[in-house]
Amino acid sequence: MKRAKYLSYGNKREPKEISDVLGSVIESASVNIDVRQGVLIERWREVAPGDWMDVARPVGIREQTLLVEVGSGTAGSLLKYQTQQLIDAISKEFGDDLVTSVRLQIPRS
């Protein structure tokens, strides 16, 4: 088996932590990542008002719209009248700019 040949030019650099490298790559790519989205999904049962935490599951946030999966059409029909209550609870915990609307989705079987 042959060994790979590596060429090295210039001074050797010290290794960097991956978080430093990724941070600069993300920054240079102009990607906007809001870690509050992940925190909301992790803490759903703490943040969501009563009816929401038992029958709904957050899927993600896109353009300030929270996508929520509900177990049934019946649950979705009831929750659609409580979306402002959910938005208010999220705003109280994470600020007004994270979620401004909610979209309900029933999973396909």
Residues 61-70 have pLDDT tens digits of 999 999 999 9
Residue 22 pLDDT class (50, 70, 90 cuts) = low
- List the CATH code of the domain at 34-105: 3.30.300.180
Q: Does this model's pTM top 0.95? A: no
What residue type is 80 in one-letter code?
Answer: K
Which has more confidence, 55 or 6? Answer: 55
Residue 87 pLDDT class (50, 70, 90 cuts) = very high
Whose tokens are 């978080």? That residue is 19
Cβ(52)–Cβ(75) under 8 Å? no
